[in-house]
Structure 1
Amino acid sequence: MCHNCSAVLGAAESVPVSAAPSRRAVARLLAAGAGLTALAACTPDGGTRPPSSSSPSATSASASQAATPSSAGSTSAGPETSAAATEPGTAAAPAPSAAPTPTSPAAGLAQQHSLTDPASPWLVVNKHRPLSPADYVPADLIQPNIALAVSGESAQLNSTTAAAAEQMFATAAGDGVTMTLASGYRSYGTQVATYNSYVASRGQAEADTASARPGFSEHQTGWAFDIGDGGGACGFQPCFAEQPAAVWAKANAHRFGFVVRYPWMFHQITGYYYESWHLRYIGVEAATDMAAKGIATLEEYFGLEAAPGYL
């Protein structure tokens, strides 16, 4: 995710596979708007985020918004045009639970973890599922030994995520791809200040399209972080999906326990538009299982309801 990544990007409805023609239309619009700036919630210096599906302008703007990044995690971008017609877009299933339901795709894994404990790698945080406690602070925050584009708390991750990130960054470097940590942990206090500044300047309705509400941010858990490309191009912008770091991560991150948390064309399930830079640790077994089964979102994988907007 971005500097303000756990933020909300508008909600939307899942797009069925049968809607492939309209996705190609979106792809053409995306190509025309590839230069759109990233959402404010996801960029350290601010920007403009598309309105959520709950906002009055969401219906008319839905096609162009699908091409812009979100503050929840990663961003939708041009390189996804060829995949847009084939990515699964099934509707979410049962209601949230503390553990995978028997019918969820994750139920067969050897190791099971809580979906509500902030210290669990399977924690699911979205617009329907706030952190508990809201001011949760990971007990094991550390600075990983990787290339950093930030400092302070943003350069930290929990120890498990940090170790996996070190392995992933090193393997990517061996393949000739340089990654940087662009945004890591974000405290509750930081999110309060960020969100309130948006409310003061834009009003709450618009703030909810640009910044995550305090206590609803994946960045606060220590399990998620944003990557940058070594070349520095397209940081927190739709075009980042075309950069070597994003391309490599999309193809290989599951080998180290990571998923692209907010994939292309699934904003109506996750509540956030495609953020190619936002990675989330869930463990190698689960991430590899998701990749093998072609399941794009944690909501679908763990059998949870879609969370396009706040309740």
Structure 2
Amino acid sequence: MCHDCSAEAPPQPPPSRRSVARLLVAGAGLSALAACTPEGPSPASSAPAGTAPASTSGSARAASGPPSASASASPTGAASAPPATSPATAAPAPPSAASRLSKQYSLTNPASPWLVVNKHRPLKPANYVPADLVQPRVALAVSGEAALLNRTTAAAAERMFAAAAAAGVTMTLASGYRSYATQTATYNGYVSARGRAAADTASARPGYSEHQTGWAFDIGDGGGACSFQPCFAEQPAAVWAKANAHHFGFVVRYPWMLHSITGYYYESWHLRYIGTEAATDMKKRGIGTLEEYFGLKAAPGYP
């Protein structure tokens, strides 16, 4: 729209055929270059850098360095540069993808299946203990509190493990509930050995672990291969869970190449219960993280 229509410039003659031809050739060249641009690595062709020896965050952290805060990751698993817009001019976030589901649950109540715990969202209270911890009737690779889950998660795990067994896949419960005291000891051990900054890349701080909620657990393969290591993603238990866990209400909580959102590198062994409807909707729509699904900010590091 012109602001001073009385001072419009005189009309210009149409471009020549030679000018149009040059523009078309240039456009075709750019299209060809875009089509030849190589894509980033896939989980099948490369593995995340570094490993952690045990499940400590919510579970083990398959990374030796801190998540990058200078890049964002897309739901498809490809890292991308941060947007050019500043927070002051960025477009508002779209509505939560979960808002269309038939039932809605709290994102802050520890007893809610939609609870989101990450480096920006600690448990409240920090020493929360689920009131309904039980030991599921599944193959166990651990004992004591690590063999416990809340009652809802345990029932769903029993159904999932049975379905996996029927498909010829042996799955074990490798790490379940972890108390605040246990997480404190685990985290402090990392701090003593590596320093606080490095510990934060390998273990969740006390009160920030999904394992304390009873809604999450780690799986192992029947053969015990690659436990809590990047190569576990290629084991039958991990492959089957990635393809089928949503039927039983579970998601892989820390997906490939989305550490700039979740704060943790790929953990193919760490499953989180959110309910069948939500898990299936996430799978169908290709949304990889709870942060994106529930319309929350990314949490690559502690504030």
- 2:67 corresponding residue in structure 1: 53
Q: Distance in 1 between matches of 2:173 and 2:257?
A: 25
Equivalent positions of 1:1-311 (< 5 A) are 21=38, 23-24=40-41, 30=46, 38-42=51-55, 49-53=63-67, 86-87=76-77, 103-311=95-303
Q: Is the 8 A contact 1:21 1:85 kept in 2?
A: no
**Gapped runs of 5+ residues in structure 2?**
1-34, 84-92
Sequence identity percentage: 71
How far apart are 1:232 and its partner, in Å? 1.2
**TM-score, normalized by length of structure 2?**
0.77
Aligned partner letter, 2:98: A
- Show CA shifts across 1:108-130 (max 9, x none): 11110000000000000000000
- Show CA shifts across 1:49-101 (max 9, x none): 412136xxx98xx9xxx9xxxxxxxxxxxxxxxxx995477989xxxxxxxx9
Q: Is the 8 A contact 2:61 2:265 kept in 1?
A: no
RMSD: 3.2
Q: Is the 8 A contact 1:119 1:138 kept in 2?
A: yes
How has the CA–CA distance of structure 1 residues 139 and 43 changed in structure 2, closer, same or farther, with 3 Å as cutoff? Answer: closer
Report which structure shows greater RCO (CA 8 Å, sep ≥6): 1
How far apart are 1:102 and its partner, in Å? 8.2
- Show CA shifts across 1:203-229 (max 9, x none): 211111221100000000000000001
Aligned partner letter, 1:39: A
Q: Is the 8 A contact 1:37 1:48 kept in 2?
A: yes
Q: Distance in 2 between matches of 1:293 and 1:47?
A: 26
How far apart are 1:163 and its partner, in Å? 0.1
Aligned partner letter, 1:130: P
Q: Distance in 2 between matches of 1:206 and 1:87?
A: 24
Q: Is the 8 A contact 1:41 1:49 kept in 2?
A: no
Local SS of the residue matching 2:271: strand
Aligned partner letter, 1:53: P
Q: Is the 8 A contact 1:43 1:236 kept in 2?
A: no
**Gapped runs of 5+ residues in structure 1?**
1-17, 67-83, 93-100
